[in-house]
């Protein structure tokens, strides 16, 4: 856990930041707990924390989803490098043909940072059961991740249309790596 | 043709006893469980085959110089086989999830309570102290440890204890979930715990088996053979310089020894010594030990949930019972049933690996207690 004391004008605030995962933080501010998810930095996923990243509140107490984060000036700074660097990763599946165009345009998404599915733990992708352009419902199995010799079904976190798939069967993935991006 | 000739020719048929028929049926049942249900097939199939072969009338396999007897003398009577298997288990076990989350050690310890509770229960039922300790060790939910301990303390109970240990291990996915659900609320089961991606350096990974061996070996000398072999396998794995040895230990050696061990254990399942009341009691007590372990693990998980301010999913406690890696998989499955976005597998694996080590230590402690008495 890290504690920051930040003074804005004359108001001093103490903020406790606890890293829960590579892109998930628990922030305590004035006794309020806020869950923070780092913004989508597709190609920076391998670096656990990038300084340019601005946390985006998922909502007080983790209840509501984030508002239109792009409106915040600070957030926009963090977003730009990611967009610019969003070239297809090496080893990208050929089926992601619609990808370059899609990745060039920002995907604001009302659901905040939930317009993607990331790897919940390190492992190997066994099968990819969905194709680009397919519309999926929350709970549909998108792919199977083998971790610790166990097959884990990764299911769609939300309803949506698959915009990009970043992995193929046999792909070794790290924690937090983006697997699928959804169109908003 | 004299009556004697007929007698010699029909010797086999005449030597059939009801006990041997029952034991052959039990052996076939184990084979059936292995083949159709895939319950620990790697062990139950050879054990079943051993039981069938040993109980055929006048089986030459079990007499002096019989193959099964030779296997038994070679590696079960002197504890060699379980130790060789432990090298393989060490070579296959990734202690990374435990090193990422060292507090899981507590759950591994909590998962061993069933051993001691069952031990007391067995004492109440009239088993001798060494016998009770051997029965309790079923609660370690770890095959080689059970074999190792029971063979030292109560060799006469080796067969039923081994069969109980492996049968219940294979029933992990059936026995554990109802207990886990009964003890936790849906809200607790749905607690999301993201994966903590802490990088573990290779130095730490190499030091871990060395330090554990030195510490455990010094504190619990009776556990030295088991922990030493487990950690030797792990050291070979993590050192990454003897990949041939690691591969041989986790594949060829483990497979060959598993076959030998299964056959030898099966051959001890001979009618008169197996078909008695104590076998039935052992099967019941083993199940109780298993359930108590799970209960204690989950309850301890709930305790950790309280201390962490509601951020710890108590299901993970169930993985502390050992039964590596099935228990961790059951935890993952249960958590996902409640919330498919929840991946507890890595946490559960940490607790599970801790349970593995704790089982060995518990076995050593039991041996020390009984050796002292």
* Higher local confidence (pLDDT), A51 or A17: A17
Asked if residue A137 and residue A48 are part of one domain, the reply reads: no
pLDDT of residue A100: 38
Report domain extents, chain B.
17-372
* Higher local confidence (pLDDT), B309 or A35: B309
pLDDT of residue A21: 65
pLDDT of residue B15: 85
Asked if residue A175 and residue A112 are part of one domain, the reply reads: yes
Structure-block tokens of residue B325: 């890696």
Please tell me the distance from the alpha carbon of residue A151 to that of residue A142, in angstroms, as a whole number: 13
Task: Assess whether pLDDT exceeds 80 at residue A23.
Answer: no
Chain B nearest CA to A21, separation (Å): 5
pLDDT of residue B372: 52
How many domains, chain A? Answer: 2
* Higher local confidence (pLDDT), B222 or A50: B222
Q: How do residues B109-168 score in pLDDT, each as one tens digit? A: 999 999 999 999 999 999 999 999 999 999 988 989 999 999 999 999 999 999 899 888
pLDDT of residue A83: 39
Band of the pLDDT at A22, cuts 50, 70, 90?
low
Please tell me the distance from the alpha carbon of residue B3 to that of residue A133, in angstroms, as a whole number: 85
Instruction: Tell me the ipTM for this assembly.
Output: 0.73
Asked if residue A101 and residue A62 are part of one domain, the reply reads: no
Asked if residue A158 and residue A69 are part of one domain, the reply reads: no
Do B134 and B157 contact (CB within 8 A), yes or no?
yes
* Contact check, Cβ <8 Å, A24/B194: yes
Asked if residue A49 and residue A9 are part of one domain, the reply reads: yes
Asked if residue A103 and residue A45 are part of one domain, the reply reads: no
Asked if residue A96 and residue A80 are part of one domain, the reply reads: no
* Contact check, Cβ <8 Å, B197/A48: yes
pLDDT of residue B40: 82
Query: Residues near A28 by Cβ (< 8 Å), separated by ≥ 6?
Result: A15, A16, A18, A34
pLDDT of residue B220: 92
Q: Which of B195, B329, B341 sits opposite A121 (nearest CB)?
A: B195
Of the residues B96, B101, B197, the best mutation for testing chain A's interface (the one with the most A CB atoms within 10 Å of its CB) is: B197
Contacts of B325 in chain A (CB under 8 A): 148-150
* Contact check, Cβ <8 Å, A150/B94: no
Task: Assess whether pLDDT exceeds 50 at residue A65.
Answer: no
Asked if residue A99 and residue A181 are part of one domain, the reply reads: yes
Do A157 and A138 contact (CB within 8 A), yes or no?
yes
Q: How do residues A85-100 score in pLDDT, each as one tens digit? A: 334 444 444 443 333 3
| Region A142-166 average pLDDT | 89
Name the one residue in this structure whose structure tokens are 């049942």: B29
* Contact check, Cβ <8 Å, B194/A120: yes
CATH number at residue A148: 2.40.50.100
Give residue A112's Cα distance to chain centre. Answer: 9
Give residue B257's Cα distance to chain centre. Answer: 15
Asked if residue A72 and residue A5 are part of one domain, the reply reads: yes
Please identify, among A22, A52, A86, the residue that sits at the C-terminal boundary of a domain: A86
Band of the pLDDT at A175, cuts 50, 70, 90?
confident
Asked if residue A168 and residue A155 are part of one domain, the reply reads: yes
Report yes or no on whether pTM surpasses 0.90. Answer: no
Please identify, among A66, A86, A106, the residue that sits at the C-terminal boundary of a domain: A86
**How does B170-184 read in b/e, with b if 16+ C-beta sit within 10 Å?**
bbbeebbbebbbebb
Q: How do residues B227-265 score in pLDDT, each as one tens digit? A: 999 999 999 999 999 999 999 999 999 999 999 999 999
Chain B nearest CA to A8, separation (Å): 31
Structure-block tokens of residue B3: 């009556």
Q: Which of B194, B197, B345 sits opposite A147 (nearest CB)?
A: B345
List C-alpha distances in Å: B100 to A124, B4, B38, B132, B351. Answer: 20, 73, 33, 36, 11
Q: Which of A22, A148, A149 sits opposite B197 (nearest CB)?
A: A22
Task: Assess whether pLDDT exceeds 80 at residue A45.
Answer: no
pLDDT of residue B153: 93
Please tell me the distance from the alpha carbon of residue B91 to that of residue B232, in angstroms, as a whole number: 8
Residues of chain B below pLDDT 50: 373
- Please give the DSSP secondary-structure letter assigned to residue A106: -
Packed helices B41-55 and B18-32: angle between N→C axes, nearest 10 degrees: 160
| Region A106-119 average pLDDT | 56
Report the share of chain A in percent with pLDDT over 90. Answer: 16
Report the greatest alpha carbon distance in chain B.
87
Asked if residue A69 and residue A92 are part of one domain, the reply reads: no
pLDDT of residue A47: 46
pLDDT of residue A40: 52
Task: Assess whether pLDDT exceeds 50 at residue A101.
Answer: no
Asked if residue A78 and residue A94 are part of one domain, the reply reads: no
* Residue A142, domain extent: 87-184
Please identify, among A25, A54, A86, the residue that sits at the C-terminal boundary of a domain: A86
* Contact check, Cβ <8 Å, A21/B345: no
* Higher local confidence (pLDDT), A165 or A56: A165
Looking at every residue in chain A, the average pLDDT score rounds to: 66
* E strand intervals along B136-203: none
């Amino acid at each position: 856990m890290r504690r920051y004391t930040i003074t804005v004008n004359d108001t001093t605030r103490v903020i406790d930041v606890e890293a829960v995962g590579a892109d998930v933080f628990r922030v305590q501010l004035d006794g309020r707990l806020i869950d923070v998810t780092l913004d989508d930095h597709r190609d920076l996923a391998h670096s656990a924390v990038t300084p340019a990243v601005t946390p985006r509140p998922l909502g007080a107490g983790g209840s509501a989803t984030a508002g239109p984060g792009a409106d915040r000036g600070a957030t926009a700074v963090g977003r730009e490098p990611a967009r610019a660097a969003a070239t297809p990763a090496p080893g990208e599946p050929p089926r992601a043909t619609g990808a370059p165009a899609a990745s060039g345009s920002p995907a604001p998404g009302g659901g905040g940072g939930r317009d993607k599915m990331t790897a919940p733990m390190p492992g190997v992708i066994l099968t990819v059961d969905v194709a680009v352009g397919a519309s999926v419902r929350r709970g549909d199995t998108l792919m199977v991740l083998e971790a610790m010799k166990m097959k884990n079904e990764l299911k769609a976190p939300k309803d949506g249309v698959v915009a990009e798939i970043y992995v193929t069967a046999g792909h070794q993935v790290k924690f937090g790596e983006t697997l699928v991006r959804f169109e908003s | 043709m004299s009556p004697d000739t007929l007698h010699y020719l029909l010797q086999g048929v005449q030597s059939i006893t009801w006990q041997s028929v029952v034991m052959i049926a039990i052996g076939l049942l184990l084979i059936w469980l292995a083949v159709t249900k895939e319950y620990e097939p790697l062990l139950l199939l050879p054990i079943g085959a051993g039981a069938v072969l040993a109980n055929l009338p006048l089986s030459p396999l079990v007499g002096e110089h019989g193959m099964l007897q030779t296997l038994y003398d070679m590696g079960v009577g002197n504890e060699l086989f379980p130790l060789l298997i432990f090298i393989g288990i060490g070579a296959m076990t990734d202690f990374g999830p435990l090193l990422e989350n060292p507090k899981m050690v507590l759950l591994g310890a909590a998962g061993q309570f069933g051993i001691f509770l069952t031990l007391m229960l067995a004492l109440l039922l009239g088993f001798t102290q060494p016998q009770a300790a051997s029965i309790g060790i079923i609660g370690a939910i770890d095959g080689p440890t059970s074999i190792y301990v029971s063979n030292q303390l109560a060799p006469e109970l080796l067969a039923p204890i081994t069969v109980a240990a492996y049968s219940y291990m294979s029933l992990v996915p059936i026995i554990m979930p109802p207990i886990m659900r009964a003890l936790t609320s849906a809200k607790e089961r749905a607690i999301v715990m993201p994966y903590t991606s802490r990088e573990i350096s290779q130095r730490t990974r190499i030091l871990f088996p060395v330090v554990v061996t030195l510490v455990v070996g010094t504190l619990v000398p009776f556990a030295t053979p088991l922990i030493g072999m487990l950690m030797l396998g792990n050291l070979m794995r993590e050192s990454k310089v003897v990949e041939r040895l690691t591969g041989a230990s986790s594949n060829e050696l483990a497979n060959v020894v598993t076959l030998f061990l299964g056959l030898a254990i099966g051959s001890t399942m001979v009618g008169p010594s197996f078909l008695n009341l104590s076998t039935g009691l052992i099967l019941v007590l083993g199940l109780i030990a298993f359930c108590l372990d799970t209960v204690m693990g989950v309850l301890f998980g709930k305790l950790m949930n309280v201390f962490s301010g509601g951020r710890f999913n108590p299901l993970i406690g169930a993985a502390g019972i050992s039964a590596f890696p099935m228990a961790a998989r059951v935890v993952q499955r249960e958590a996902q049933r409640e919330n498919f976005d929840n991946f507890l597998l890595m946490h559960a694996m940490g607790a599970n690996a801790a349970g593995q080590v704790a089982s060995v230590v518990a076995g050593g402690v039991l041996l020390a207690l009984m050796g002292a008495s």
